[in-house]
């Protein structure tokens, strides 16, 4: 019976180490403050034992374990919320980056389209003005004249030639003189 008592007491201490979990520490630190553990030596009971093993005592150890578990759950929930917030921020930043890249790409495309359009219009206008001018080589080099080429009626001109004539008439570009003049 002595050995059983020693093994029972050791099993109780191994199963519930209350000193480790007792954060409140208001009812004493457990059982070894009252004297000698006589159960294993002389066959007697606990002389100043630990206040009842499992069920006795102040119960502070169990409360502190519950509080620690609740704190750990709160910390884990906060960390999960922070991870979710970081993922949301990263997704929003990626969406903003895609939007900025799209806007920049559209600006570049608009600039390229505008440049190509301006070049095409200029080439067309030069071509139209050259074709609408005098068809002689001398007339091409000296400037654009506004009279229609001989043998063509005004109604037979394309629309582009009429537009070029209209624009040039508004600008009033005077052809240079044929003979050099001394100033």
Give the chain's mean pLDDT: 65
Please check whether residue 154 lies inside any domain of the structure. Answer: no
166 within some domain: no
User: Is position 21 within any domain?
Assistant: yes
pLDDT of 59 higher than 60: no
Q: At what angle do helices 60-132 and 159-171 cross, to 10 degrees?
A: 90
The arithmetic mean of pLDDT across residues 21-37, rounded, is 47
Once rounded to an integer, what is the mean pLDDT over residues 155-176? 59
- Work out how many domains the chain is built from and give that number: 1
In a domain, 118, yes or no: no
Alpha carbons 159 and 108: distance in angstroms, whole number = 33
Three-state DSSP class for residue 64: helix
- Residue 88: pLDDT band (50, 70, 90) is confident
In angstroms, the CA 124 to CA 167 distance is: 13
CB 129 within 8 A of CB 143: no
Is 53 a domain residue? yes
pLDDT tops 90 at residue 74: yes
Range of the domain at 15: 2-58
The enclosing H or E element of 108 equals helix 60-132
Q: Is residue 97 part of a domain?
A: no
117-157 per-position pLDDT tens digit: 877 777 777 666 665 554 444 444 444 444 555 554 555 54
The three-class DSSP label of residue 170 is helix
pLDDT at 76: 93
Q: Summarize the confidence of residues 54-81 as an average pLDDT.
A: 79
Is the pLDDT at 101 greater than 60? The verdict is: yes
Residue 9 domain flag: yes
User: Is 12 among the domain residues?
Assistant: yes
């Amino acid at each position: 019976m002595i050995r059983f008592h020693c093994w029972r007491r050791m099993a109780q201490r191994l199963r519930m180490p209350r000193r480790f979990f007792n954060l409140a520490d208001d009812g004493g630190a457990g059982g070894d403050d009252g004297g000698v553990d006589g159960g294993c030596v002389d066959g007697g009971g606990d002389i100043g034992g630990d206040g009842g093993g499992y069920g006795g005592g102040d119960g502070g150890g169990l409360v502190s374990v519950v509080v620690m578990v609740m704190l750990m759950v709160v910390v884990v929930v906060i960390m999960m919320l922070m991870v979710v917030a970081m993922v949301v921020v990263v997704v929003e930043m990626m969406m903003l980056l895609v939007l900025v890249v799209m806007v920049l790409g559209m600006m570049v495309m608009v600039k390229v389209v505008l440049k190509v359009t301006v070049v095409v219009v200029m080439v067309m206008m030069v071509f139209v003005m050259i074709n609408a001018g005098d068809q002689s080589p001398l007339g091409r080099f000296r400037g654009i004249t506004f009279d229609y080429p001989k043998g063509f009626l005004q109604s037979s001109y394309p629309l582009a030639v009429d537009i070029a004539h209209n624009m040039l008439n508004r600008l009033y570009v005077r052809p240079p003189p044929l003979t050099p003049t001394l100033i």
